[in-house]
A and B are shown apart, each in its own frame.
Chain A
Amino acid sequence: MRREPRSVDYLPDPRPDVGTGRTPPAPGRQAILLASLSVGALLLAMQLWLLTVALELYLNGNDDNGIWVLAGLSGLVVVGGGLVLRMLARRARLRW
């Protein structure tokens, strides 16, 4: 992705977000954003845990559908993440 040079950004600016190309969120939205990112991180941790449980089931030789239930839950998280990405992309398009 090519970034357009901005001649005013040579020097560090003590103000946060100045020159980084980011627009700071509104004060009320900062907490919502951080909470959303935290929930995402928690879901990732949960997926990692699901993977370890699946590994344990596999090593124990469980032939029932336990691993597939775990894979289904993990897949739901992926689908949710994909939907969030799509929603963000749509919002960005609407903004422009």
Chain B
Amino acid sequence: MSRIPGRDYRQQLAEEEPWRQQFPYHWDADEAVTRREFVRFAVLTSGALFVGTVVLGILGKLDSRKRTKRQLIMKVGELEPGHAKYFHYPNSGDQAMILRLNDGSYAAYSQKCTHLSCAVYYQPKENTLHCPCHEGYFDPVTGEPTAGPPQRRLPRITVEEQGGNLYATEMNP
């Protein structure tokens, strides 16, 4: 578009390009975010983060109720030292394991790896708990991660002996 000397350029544009009459906005104004809009968006984002934190609190309370359950695992002495038995706790879909450590004591954990939820297995020769998916290792006595990608310990299951039987009573994530 050539500019005609002596004539108002804006007026000329408006006549030669009719769409400017229908959308008469400066293109900076079309994309501009005002400070007020920015603050409103920031407060909305802040509210969303707050709601997320509250939801985690509620989920934490709900989970703590679900984790307490008494369930028979096996008879005392059924497991030799250095062996493990796999069972389901607290629900039928949750895999768990009880270990008879070399000193004769028992330790029970969720079998779900705290990295990406693969199944963890007891390896008595190496005296370790091994997650084969990403080579994660846990201490069988404490459940703490010793090598590999896991950062959190395995959820521990409280075991109680009563009447010659072993019971799982509580899951402590």
Contacts and interface: CB of A to CB of B under 8 A. Distances in A.
A66 to B, nearest CB: 9
Query: Main SS of chain B's interface residues?
Result: helix
A81 B43 contact: yes
Interface stretch (B50-58, B73-81, B124-132, B137-145): B50-58
Contacts of A11: 9-10, 13, 26
Interface string A34-70: 0001001101100110110011011111110001101
Given A12-B27, A40-B39, A74-B50, A54 B20 contact: no
A88 B50 contact: no
A88 B42 contact: no
A44 B44 CA distance: 10
Interface residues of B, number: 41
A57 B26 contact: no
A31 to B, nearest CB: 14
Contacts of A7: 14, 24
Contacts of B52: 51, 54
B64 A71 contact: no
Interface of B: 9-10, 13-14, 20, 24-29, 32, 34-36, 38-40, 42-43, 45-47, 49-50, 52-54, 56-57, 59-61, 63-64, 67, 114, 152, 155, 172-173
